[in-house]
Structure 1
Amino acid sequence: MKIGVADTTFARVNMGAFVVDELRKHASVAIERYTVPGFKDLPVACKKLIEERGCDIVVALGMPGGKDKDKMCAHEASQGLMLAQLMTNRHIIEVFVHEDEAENDRELAWLAERRAREHAENAVNLILRPQVLTRQAGTGQRQGFEDAGPARQ
Structure 2
Amino acid sequence: MVKIGIADTTFARFDMGKAAIDELKRNCSAQIVRYTVPGIKDLPVACKKLFDEQHCDIVMALGMPGSKPVDKTCAHEASMGIIICQLMTGRHIIEVFVHEDEAPDARELAALMEKRAREHALNVVKLMFKPKILEKEAGTGQRQGYEDVGPARI
TM-score (norm 2): 0.98
The answer to whether structure 1 residue 66 and structure 2 residue 67 are counterparts is yes
- Which residue pairs with 1:39 in the alignment? 40
- Which residue pairs with 1:24 in the alignment? 25
TM-score (norm 1): 0.99
Mapped to 2, the partners of 1:134 and 1:83 lie a distance apart of 25
- Which residue pairs with 1:76 in the alignment? 77
- Which residue pairs with 1:95 in the alignment? 96
| Deviation at residue 152 of structure 1 after TM alignment | 1.7
Mapped to 2, the partners of 1:40 and 1:86 lie a distance apart of 17
The answer to whether structure 1 residue 123 and structure 2 residue 132 are counterparts is no
| Deviation at residue 19 of structure 1 after TM alignment | 0.4
**Post-superposition, which runs of at least 4 consecutive aligned residues in structure 1 deviate over 6 A?**
none
Mapped to 2, the partners of 1:108 and 1:33 lie a distance apart of 23
Mapped to 2, the partners of 1:83 and 1:76 lie a distance apart of 11
The answer to whether structure 1 residue 104 and structure 2 residue 96 are counterparts is no
| Deviation at residue 51 of structure 1 after TM alignment | 1.1
- Calculate the aligned-residue CA RMSD, in Å: 0.5
Mapped to 1, the partners of 2:133 and 2:50 lie a distance apart of 25
The secondary structure found in structure 1 opposite 2:143 is coil
- CA deviations 1:85-121 (Å, max 9, x no partner) are 0001100000000001000011100000000000000
Mapped to 1, the partners of 2:34 and 2:125 lie a distance apart of 16
- Percent identity between matched residues is 67
Structure 1: any 5+ residue segments left out of the alignment? none
The count of aligned residue pairs is 153
Structure 2: any 5+ residue segments left out of the alignment? none
Mapped to 1, the partners of 2:79 and 2:57 lie a distance apart of 19
